[in-house]
Amino acid sequence: MEYLIQYGMFFAKVATIVVAIIIVLGAIVSSGSRQKKADKKGSIRVTPLNDHFDEMRERLRESVLDKDQLKKIHKQEKKAAKAEHKRAREKEKQKTKEGSEADSRAVDDRKKRSYVLNFKGDLAAEAVTALREEITAILTLAEKADEVILKLESPGGMVHAYGLASSQLLRIKNAGIPLTICVDKVAASGGYMMACLADKLVSAPFAIIGSIGVLVQVPNFHRVLKKNDVDYEIVSAGEFKRTMTIFGEITKKGKAKVQEDVETIHGIFKQWVKDHRPSVDIDKISTGETWVGMQAKERYMVDEIKTSDECILTACETADVFELEFELKKSIQDKLSSAIPGIVEKVLMSWSNKSRINDYQ
């Protein structure tokens, strides 16, 4: 028994030392990660979508077509590529002969480029951090002959956050670069504030569009505190520094002020939509309602009904298409913390789906 006790004490000491070492190493790694993050905010990852789709098509061909068919197609493509190369060489020779005049037309002669961005918005429009970096990168290279395609998904959120996101899109328009926005699932409230900036706004048939309204929700526990003889004091300067709070008493004057502010923001929102989509009947669509894509088109809220996939594949026919994604540098701790909510959400969704299946059995 004494031997076991001594062994247990030894094991406890070893375990303590190991844990201490792990904590120290973790602190060092964390410090290094923070330093690296401070040194470099992130990087732009660029994916040439033309190559991506060509690779997918080639893999499908190899699986579906027989050798003779595949050989015939490759022969035709090789012939077409050779002819295109010949035309490019002749054009280059012509430029050399014409000298400086040709140089002035160099930008016009090159192939159009389309830049694809993704914006998946939450309540605080956190994706604007990456969006502003991606747009900055594009504006260093893009010409007016090019195009930006934004795949937008957002149910809306905070006014100031989506105001900033919309301002980032204005940078593209101010540079004179055509902006196409595609909505596959939802662009409501702040999401539609962004979407209406498009030169061409495309929606999937059943995407949710609209919700041109403003909402303020504040839970209030004043009566609970009063019932339990709990005082809640606010010291402020300025008559309307605080109007509606969680614990303070909601007065008629305070509520009226909040209502006034909401109406003011709603008016600005309506004017914003009207300025950028003058074809809409703003009074009919600014009721806070939402519509599916097909209904939104009838109300001139969108220009065309199709998916982002169709837009991008069409762009690949005439342009070099590149998808940009700004990637923030993340430490191991950040990656774990960001992964946990996703895992929990998947587990809850799995339980929910199983429950629904059982309900129908």
Question: Which of residues 122 and 23 earns the better pLDDT score?
Answer: 122
Instruction: Please tell me the predicted confidence (pLDDT) of residue 335.
Output: 57
Give tens-digit pLDDT for 318-358. Answer: 999 999 999 877 666 655 555 566 665 565 566 556 555 55
3-state secondary structure of 45: strand
Q: Does residue 251 share a domain with residue 121? A: no
Q: What is the C-alpha separation between 224 and 249, in angstroms, rounded? A: 11
On whether both 183 and 222 belong to a single domain, the answer is: no
Q: What's the rounded mean pLDDT across residues 201-214? A: 97
Burial of 155 (0-12, 13-18, 19+ CB in 10 A): middle
Q: What is the mean pLDDT of residues 107-116?
A: 82
Q: What mean pLDDT comes out for the span 194-217? A: 96
Q: Is residue 12 part of a domain?
A: no
Please give the pLDDT value at position 360: 46
Phi, psi dihedral angles at 47 (to 5 degrees): -115, 115
State whether 134 and 266 are in the same domain. Answer: no
Give the domain extent around 252.
217-279
301 inside domain = yes
- Note the pLDDT tens digit of each residue in 231-262: 888 888 888 887 888 888 888 888 899 999 99
Claim to verify: residue 170 and residue 116 sit in the same structural domain: yes
Share of the chain above pLDDT 90, in %: 52
CATH number, domain of 206, equals 3.90.226.10
> How far is residue 293's CA from residue 185's CA, in Å, rounded to a whole number?
9
Identify whether residues 301 and 157 lie together within a single domain. Answer: yes
Residue 237: how many other CB atoms lie within 10 Å = 5
SS in 3 state form for 223-239?
HHHHHCCCCCCCCCCCC
Residue 168 resides in a domain: yes
Identify the pLDDT of residue 309: 97
Q: How many domains does the chain have?
A: 2
Q: Is residue 78 part of a domain?
A: no
The residues that are catalytic are 189, 241
AA identity, residue 228: N
Flag whether pLDDT at 5 surpasses 60.
no
Question: Considering the domain boundaries, does residue 97 fall inside one?
Answer: no
User: What CA–CA distances, in Å, run from 109 to 88, 147, 215, 272, 287?
Assistant: 10, 16, 50, 37, 48
In this structure, the answer to whether residues 152 and 231 fall within a common structural domain is no
In sequence order, the 6+-apart residues with CB closer than 8 A to the CB of 164 are 125, 128
**Burial grade of 291 (CB within 10 A; 0-12, 13-18, 19 or more):** buried
Measured distance between the N- and C-terminal CA atoms of the chain, rounded to whole angstroms = 59
Residue, of 183 and 9, whose pLDDT is higher: 183
The pLDDT tens digits of the residues spanning 24-74 come to: 666 655 655 554 544 467 899 999 999 999 899 889 888 888 888 888 888
Assess whether 298 and 232 both reside in one domain. Answer: no
Note whether 223 and 317 are same-domain residues: no
Q: Does residue 222 share a domain with residue 203?
A: no
- In this structure, the answer to whether residues 274 and 176 fall within a common structural domain is no
Q: Would you say residue 147 lies in a domain?
A: yes
